[in-house]
Structure 1
Amino acid sequence: MTSKAAQLASSWLQSFAKALESANVDAVVECFCADGFLRDILALNWDNRTLQGHSNISAYLVDFLEDASISAVELSQKSAFKPEYGRFTETLSVCGVSAGFTFETKIGPGAGYFTLVPDESDSWKALVVMIALQDIRGHEEGINTWRELRPPGPTWAEMVQQERLTAETEPDVLVVGAGQTGLNVAARFRQMGISTLVVERNHRVGDNWRQRYPTLTLHTPKNYCSMLYQQHPDNWPEFIPRDKVADWLEQYAVTQDLFVWTDSRPLPGARYDTSTKRWTVTIDRAGREVELHPTHIIVASALGAPRLPTIPNQSTFSGIILHSSQYSGAKSLAGKRVVVVGAGNTAAEICADLAAHKAQSVTMVQRSSTWIVSRDSAVETFNRMYPPDVDVADADFMAMARPAKLAMKLEKMGMEQVLESQKETHRGLAEAGFEINKSGKGFFTLWYERYGGFWLDTGHAELIRNGSVAVKHGVEVASFSSSSVIFSDNTSLEADCVIFATSCENIAETMRGVFGDAIIDQVGPVWGLDSEGELQGCYRRAGHPGLWFAGGEFYLSRAFSKRMALEIKAMQLGLLDGSR
């Protein structure tokens, strides 16, 4: 089947290449299925766009294809992108041929990936094609570059020190936040020759992980959770514990020569000068105020301040009230009656920790339905996407080649099979009063729509089934008495501690305190998907010049930091107007 896949991919790409290189829109469209997808990541237009269906693809190409001057289209020589035949998704029987290709534009080299399926006439057409600008010619990302040090030239330490001096006095970019997102962005920008300073409010890089509950581990495999340019050690656990993540981020900033100010935060009053196209922002650096004038500010999070509701009679409660971000472990709560408000991943893990440390009672308050799937099932999907023999950057690229709308459609189509595989777990939860989300929205869809509303089960469901964790569904906390929580259905529970696992507000709202209403009101939605299925407000221009947001998990910051770097580099070179 390998030879057939190569033949089909080559034949289709010849037709596609001819159409692209001659800017023949009708011929390009003819290469797609009637409801196929074209995803463009900066190759034709300085934005992320996903077009579905012949009419939408045609209208888009009419506007942008000819000006891009695409040439030299050919199959990729990378082994990860060689033509392959197989099932398009494990939950469906659809088979297709997928392969990567390369091309040139007037701006620089590009790469693409396509999946072909047979149509009703048995002609092979593209279900999806992704094209992406890879570099700006003459300003390529510096990976595996030879940087020879010879006397009397500067040493490596001297070169890094000069870069630090520039970043700390006249940075092109200021990144707010040194979590995995901010560090991935800074590492990418450094390789793209964009001077970057990162400010982190905590005392050490990694403290945003160290300060979370001690039983926290990543629920996705370590290969998927890699940082740019630097794989996790082979002998590490598959699901990395909180403290190892924290220490890894701290050493990553050192080994990648990133410039980070800890104990530092931007103060209110940041302002933008439209004539100089620079910000004036004051940084509180460990108690000393420093004024900086970056061209761009990137807020490296999609989550802002903890969302802790104000409840009537809260001050009369004699127990402890915490947000989940303040929860430091269950040891001090042994023998206590604890109510956890929320039913997502964090709430489930806190409940499990409390049960393990012999809290007298643990009650989860589930206000709406939740999607539950076993971690093992999710890991199978991640391991298929990120196999150990494929470079993470190549796996990221192939993941990008599955548009969100298509992924959500496939997730819904495969829901019946997933429900069947999880039926025993779901049945036990239902019997305990827990409501499963049966909207057809799974992990992927809920993540991009809500940033939550699910958990990957590692045994938490069994604690509910066996009564170790009680569930109260469909209510809100309405009030407090001195020793109890009163719910919206007029019932109450005696409690010594209430933990609100109620997530955080959107980062744009939190940043009003730094930028003010006039600037933030120009920013569109940060997170969620737009009408084309592209991520809103993150890794793309957010609505105000020079202000960007970057958020999500490891994959997003690895893959999309490059497209953000390309836009900023294009602005520096005058290829793109940075005034909007």
Structure 2
Amino acid sequence: MDQSTVVNRAIKWMNEFERVVAAQDRNGFGALLSDPCYWRDLVALTWDTQQLYGEDAIADGLLAAAQDRQIRSIRLDPNRPAPKALESGGAAEFFLTFETRIGRCRAFVSGLLDDASATGFRAKLISTDLVEMFLETPPQSQKMERYGYDPAHPGETWAQARERLSATMTDPEVLVVGCGEWGASIAAELDRVGVPNLVIDAGQRGGGSWRNRYDSLALHTPLVRNNLPILHFPETFPAYLSKDQWADWIELYIKAMDINVWFETRLSNAVYDQETQLWEARLAMPDGSERVIKARHIVLAVGIGGSARIPNLPGLADFAGPIVHSSEFKNGASYRDKKVLVVGVSTSGHDIALDLYHHGAQVSMGQRSPATVCDIATAQVAFNSTSTVPLDEADQRSLANLTRPIIEEFLREYTKKTDELDRELHEGLRRAGMRVDAGENEYGWLYKTYTQLAGYYLNVGCSEVIVEGGITVMQMAEFEKFVPQGVRLHNGEIAEFDAIIMATGFESHSTVIETLMGAEVAENVGKVGGFGDDGETRNLCRPTGQEHLWIGFGGIIDARKYAKVLAFQIKAEITGLAPTLIRLPDGTLDTARDNASELVRT
């Protein structure tokens, strides 16, 4: 089909969509959809991240939301590619832009070219997201246009003003806990919409959590995918960054974006006052003192989880040698010629095992559950379709395709392709004694990044060493117990070790919440991470079961994509555009308060 025909059909569909929304024509709306069909919204038409499936659910939800938000000015997005037919026969896609009473929005639409349809096209997927809020007052970052600050007296420098403002800061609207990629991204987006915020971080400087990890750690996603909001990498940076380069970039980002952060400051605990709707947060300050601040909202931006997790394995306490968690491991220099057992076969376990091997240790890996292994070059197949498009467009496509049935369909095909490309590698690993799988429902390693952030390895060299016999794989189902000199197997043999490295992950976000805010708040929030019954990632940058508590977690790419989504929701609640929302146990939203903006601090 020629380009002009595809464009004309997209325009016909767009015009009919605008008509049926204005007329609230449910039957006409159904004619625009294919079977099956999906809608994902990221605060463009609702104050949530949500997805609906099927004509009836989408018609009911989208029409009502569009009427409430007063959708208007729908047109093809001039900043995106023109409508086009896809290589997969009979499919097409296009981008729209539109406005609501809240702000400027955009949509990604993909579906089937259908000659029998009145418009010649039926949508399989509609994804809508908010791009910019219409604000009555200028954001904080625009208030001091000349020098970026208001001098307290003639001659006060920016640095002096920055120190003064930090020392005399009043209680912020938002307290962000953690200033890694998540905390810094959220703070930058809150600044963009004019929400006063304070970020606290236990480290001495930006990027501290990365600097403290093992020396050989490097990012496993290409450079361009790891950009943070607003400020992007120079083109001269390498394709893959070491952890120290990434830590330096976070530190630079915090300074360049003028993030309001207090380092060497910990959140001791936080209590929520239902009457005032304020958090009372107790902070452990660098000088050992305690400071109490009150904030309307708290955002937990603690990344992959809490403190180091060391499972209670039989006899582990009896082992006579050192037991080191992966978070405390730096490098293998001190383990030369020693027999070392690495417990865990996810990314950290493989990286540490390879580093130990390079430093002359005799390395064994203890495997408790199957690992999904994909060579890092093979893994890039997932990004081929968006590798040449602008990052903002790639993010829009990615957010749209995270509609659960769509991403699962993609992952099945992707994993078939990567498993075929890596077949020889997998066969070699299995011969070496490693259990390799394709993950739940054969969705592969990418699915594990969405559901557990563990259980997979993007191979950067360790797999070849295992296949060649340089690193031994031991199945822990054959372990009877740990003993002072190592491990006793069920057959009675003793496998001797000088040291054990526990690459066993970190405590859950639920544990972090319970420690900082109590068991009741943790129970209200419920499980964090993994797909919920509604298809969305549980509690990721959306209202939780505890009012005014938000959570940002996941990978670097997620921080960039979701920080703005979170900032919009917080801004809406503070200004009264949205009520205070809480998530009920069944996953639906309820209105906790009518209008947060009516409250006055006490």
Partner of 1:16: 17
User: Displacement of 1:266 after TM fit?
Assistant: 0.8
1:373-452 alignment runs, 5 A limit: 373-387=374-388, 390=390, 392-402=391-401, 403-438=403-438, 439-452=441-454
Distance verdict in 2 for CA 1:260–1:572, change over 3 Å: same
2:124: which partner in 1?
A: 127
- CA distances 1:442-481 after superposition (whole Å, capped 9, x unpaired): 1221111222211111222111110011112352765322
Aligned in 2, Cα 1:165/1:81: closer, same or farther, shift over 3 Å?
farther
Give the match for residue 593 of structure 2. Answer: none
Could you tell me how far apart the structure 2 residues matched to 1:486 and 1:345 are? Answer: 26
Q: Tell me the distance in 2 between the aligned counterparts of 1:141 and 1:188.
A: 14
Q: Distance in 2 between matches of 1:327 and 1:152?
A: 43
Matched residue, 2:470: 468
Partner of 1:486: 488
Structure 1 residues 140 and 350, CA, compared in 2 at 3 Å: closer, same or farther?
A: farther
Corresponding letter in the other structure for 1:261: W
State the one-letter code of the partner of 2:393.
D
Aligned ranges for residues 157-236 of structure 1 at < 5 Å?
Answer: 157=158, 161=162, 164-165=165-166, 168-236=169-237
SS in 2 for 1:503: coil
Other-structure match for 1:61: 62
Distance 1:202 1:167 in 2: 22
Whole-Å Cα distance in 1 between the matches of residues 305 and 183 of structure 2? 13
Q: Is the 8 A contact 1:463 1:469 kept in 2?
A: yes
Moved more, 550-559 or 145-154: 145-154
Provide closer, same or farther for how the CA distance between residues 343 and 162 of structure 1 changes in structure 2, counting only shifts above 3 A.
Answer: closer
For 2:412 and 2:121, locate their aligned partners in 1 and report how far apart those are by CA, in whole Å: 25
The Cα of 1:121 is off from its aligned counterpart by: 5.3
Contact in 2 for aligned 1:135/1:141 (Cα 8 Å): no
The partner residue of 1:555 within 557, 565, 578 is 557
Q: CA 1:487/1:500 → structure 2, altered by over 3 Å: closer, same or farther?
A: farther
Deviations 1:57-87 (A, max 9, x none): 1332365343222111111110x34323334
Instruction: Kindly provide the amino acid, as one letter, of the partner of residue 295 in structure 1.
Output: R
- 1:26 counterpart = 2:34: no
Residue in structure 1 matched with residue 298 of structure 2 by the alignment: 297
Change (3 A) 1:488 1:111: farther
Structure 1 partner of 2:97: 102
8 Å CA contact retained: 2:272, 2:278: yes
For the residues of structure 2 that align with 1:96 and 1:160, how far apart are their CA atoms? 57
Structure 1 unaligned residues grouped into runs of 5+: 88-92
2:251 corresponding residue in structure 1: 250
Counterpart of 2:277, as a letter, is: K
Which letter does structure 1 place at the counterpart of 2:502?
F
CA shift in 2, pair 1:96/1:489, >3 Å: farther
1:90 aligned residue: none
Per-residue deviation, 1:316: 3.0
1:225-249: CA deviation from partner (whole Å, max 9, x where unpaired): 0111111121111000011111111
Aligned in 2, Cα 1:193/1:363: closer, same or farther, shift over 3 Å?
Answer: same
1:528 aligns with 2:530: yes
For residue 351 of structure 1, report the CA deviation from its aligned partner.
Answer: 1.1
For residue 84 of structure 1, what is the amino acid of its counterpart?
K
Which residue of 1 is the match for residue 357 of structure 2? 355
Determine whether 1:83 maps to 2:83: yes
Deviation of the 1:52 alpha carbon: 1.6
Alignment deviations for residues 425-457 of structure 1 (CA, whole Å, 9 cap, x no partner)? 111111111122144121221111222211111
The alpha carbon displacement at 1:206 in A equals: 0.8
Total equivalences in the alignment: 570
Which residue pairs with 1:285 in the alignment? 285
Matched letter for residue 106 of structure 1: R
Residue 117 of structure 1, CA deviation: 2.1
Q: CA RMSD in A?
A: 2.6
Provide structure 2 residue ranges, at least 5 long, that are not aligned to the other structure: 583-602
* CA-CA distance at 1:164 after TM superposition: 4.0
Cα 1:487–1:20 change in 2 (3 A) is farther
Once residues 400 and 137 of structure 2 are traced to their aligned partners in structure 1, the CA distance between those partners, rounded to angstroms, is 22
Checking the alignment, whether the CA contact within 8 Å between 2:342 and 2:500 is kept in structure 1 is yes
- Greater Cα offset, 495-504 or 478-487: 478-487
- 2:10 and 2:121 in contact (8 A); partners too: no
Cα distance change of structure 1 residues 490 and 188 upon mapping to structure 2, 3 Å threshold: farther
Distance (whole Å) between structure 2 residues aligned to residue 72 and residue 406 of structure 1:
28
Answer yes or no: is the 8 Å Cα contact 1:369–1:435 preserved in 2.
Answer: yes
User: Mean alpha-carbon deviation: is it higher for 376-385 or for 284-293?
Assistant: 376-385
Q: Is the counterpart of residue 7 in structure 1 residue 2 in structure 2?
A: no
Moved more, 405-414 or 239-248: 405-414
> Which residue of structure 2 lines up, in the alignment, with residue 508 of structure 1?
510
Tell which deviates more after alignment, 492-501 or 117-126.
117-126
Asked whether the equivalents of residues 284 and 290 of structure 2 are also in contact (C-alpha less than 8 Å), the reply is yes
Query: In structure 1, how many angstroms separate the alpha carbons of the residues matched to 2:447 and 2:164?
Result: 41
1:240 aligns with 2:204: no
SS at structure 2 position matched to 1:298? strand
TM-score scaled to structure 1, two decimals? Answer: 0.92
1:372-391 deviations in Å (ceiling 9; x for gaps): 1111122243353243x51x
Q: Is the Cα contact below 8 Å between 1:337 and 1:496 reproduced in 2?
A: yes
**Is the 2:382–2:414 Cα contact (8 Å) retained in structure 1?**
no
Q: Following TM superposition, by how much is the alpha carbon of 1:223 offset from its aligned partner in structure 2, in angstroms?
A: 0.3
- Alpha-carbon distance, 1:579 to partner: 5.9
**Where does residue 311 of structure 1 map in the other structure?**
313
The 1:163/1:452 distance shift into structure 2, 3 A limit, reads farther
1:348-387 CA-to-partner distances (Å, cap 9, x unmatched) read 111111111111x211112111111111122243353243
For residues 38 and 30 of structure 1, what CA distance do their matches in structure 2 show?
A: 15
1:234 and 1:339 map into 2 onto residues whose CA distance is 40
Amino acid at match of 1:8: R
Once the two structures are overlaid, the 10-residue window that deviates more, 488-497 or 150-159, is 150-159
